[in-house]
């Protein structure tokens, strides 16, 4: 959902500043530095390939104005897509405790994935790359950071067009995959 709302913002070439939210981030990361600026498209790239939770927080803060407003937009979009068994409490998906109110279903993830690949087919440019690098530009200079896609199907499955992996301690390893063969 974070990638979907980022793409819908039509601000992919805009620079996004990593704010204080990233300091509270846990899980996988693209290792953003506080106040580092990166194009929204590069943050989405880090989100899709590496599952960068710091990238998700930077995207949410920028696209939503703040993370809480972004999460509201996520839930509004879920309702608009007919996702009846989903409620977001954050932009990373890391909270896997149903009692907390953060949950989804496989069917709802399929609805969201369909919206993403049909309305924004360019997502395939992000989700089918196996390995690449991004450049961090900070006060200390520029450094290159390697990204490896968490979706191993992009290396081995003929016709793969994406899409995204995820994991939590409760749900374990999850995948929303898409492919195209012979049209």
Give the tens place of pLDDT for each residue, 124-175.
999 999 999 999 988 888 999 999 999 999 999 999 999 999 988 778 899 9
Beta bridge partners of 172: 168
Res 99 pLDDT > 80? no
Give the pLDDT of residue 70: 98
Query: What is the pTM assigned to this prediction?
Result: 0.94
Query: Average pLDDT, whole number, for the chain?
Result: 93
Give the pLDDT of residue 96: 59
End-to-end, the C-alpha distance of the chain in Å comes to 26
Q: At what angle do helices 40-50 and 53-64 cross, to 10 degrees?
A: 140
Beta bridge partners of 15: 39
C-alpha neighbours within 13 Å on the C-beta side of residue 161: 15
Question: How many CB atoms within 10 Å of residue 55?
Answer: 35
Res 105 pLDDT > 90? yes
Give the pLDDT of residue 140: 84
């Amino acid at each position: 959902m974070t990638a979907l709302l980022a793409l819908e913002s039509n601000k992919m070439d805009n620079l996004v500043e990593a704010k204080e939210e990233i300091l509270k981030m846990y899980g996988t990361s693209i290792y953003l530095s506080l106040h580092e600026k990166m194009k929204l498209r590069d943050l989405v790239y880090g989100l899709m390939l590496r599952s960068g939770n710091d990238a998700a927080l930077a995207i949410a803060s920028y696209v939503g104005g703040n993370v809480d407003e972004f999460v509201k937009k996520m839930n509004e979009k879920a309702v608009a897509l007919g996702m009846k068994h989903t409620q977001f409490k954050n932009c990373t998906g890391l909270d896997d405790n149903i009692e907390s109110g953060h949950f989804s279903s496989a069917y709802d993830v399929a609805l969201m994935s369909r919206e993403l690949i049909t309305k924004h087919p360019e997502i395939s440019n992000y989700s089918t790359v196996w390995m690449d690098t991004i450049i961090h530009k900070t006060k200390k200079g520029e450094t290159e950071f390697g990204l490896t896609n968490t979706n191993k199907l992009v290396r081995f499955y003929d016709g793969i067009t994406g899409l995204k992996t995820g994991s939590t301690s409760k749900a374990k390893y999850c995948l929303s995959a898409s492919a195209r063969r012979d049209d």
